[in-house]
Structure 1
């Protein structure tokens, strides 16, 4: 979650206030042990149809072997850990604006949901999530019996 405000002076607000917010966020993160909001990758979640969802996580510059996806106890965990050899590549950069810090995202999966596919393409990690609700657990209408006739409710 990034803090964005509309301003008549966008250059001033971005440099003065956004930097202060990031510093405060890092300070609280050090105190609580949580990951700073700014260091977590952005994501989109889309409902494709009644049973399918698409989760896109922005991970520019990450490789497949640096990312891990796992489901544990109804939670979907996505984490990224930098390769050790990247520390040698730190020399010569004038500015590095693409965040490459380790991260961990967690999502609660709905019951009967599973990740059916994952692919990394153009800096986006795309996960297809399928939710298959058994017929026995789907909502159903119950007819109300009357002495003379049966009243049915139609969905």
Structure 2
């Protein structure tokens, strides 16, 4: 596994510390297990969908939270009262507890989440505020700049 020293990035940039933190988290996440498996797809110009395989989990055993620029999905199997302990000969469907984190880009928020056929679908949308969208700035000529002070005096 490779480890990158990001300290030169911190010294030579201003305001990019979040980018460096994201890169650091990605390098740490490489060593983590890939349970549960998931897909990330782009469903529109500003729409995305995360699909996580959650076979064996009921809706009440799953939790989806958006906090501090991250989407955190957790699954905890509830202890069933009165259920007898099963003796498995082979157990291929994992139902162990999990926590999966996804780093969200700026202005991306979770719109909704739904389970279907053992899959958890989380729809995301990117909503850029009007103040941050590109806008055209008119270029004034020298004549229009000189004419403005005269109009103010009149």
TM class, shorter-chain normalised? 0.5 to 0.7
Unaligned runs of 5+ in 1: 1-33, 148-155
RMSD: 2.7
Equivalent in the alignment of 1:41: 36
Q: TM-score, normalised by structure 2?
A: 0.63
Give the TM-score taking structure 1 as reference length: 0.63
Which structure has the larger Rg over C-alpha atoms?
Answer: 2
1:92 aligns with 2:87: yes
Change (3 A) 1:143 1:132: same
Structure 1 stretch displaced more, 116-125 or 132-141: 132-141
Moved over 6 A (4+): 143-147
Q: Match of 1:106?
A: 101
Query: Superposition pairs for residues 13-92 of structure 1, below 5 Å?
Result: 37-38=32-33, 40-85=35-80, 88-92=83-87
Q: Is 1:69–1:77's contact at 8 Å kept on the other side of the alignment?
A: yes
> C-alpha displacement at 1:141, in angstroms?
5.4
Q: Provide Cα deviations, 1:25-73, integer angstroms capped at 9, x if missing partner.
A: xxxxxxxxx9x84462111111111211111011111110100111111
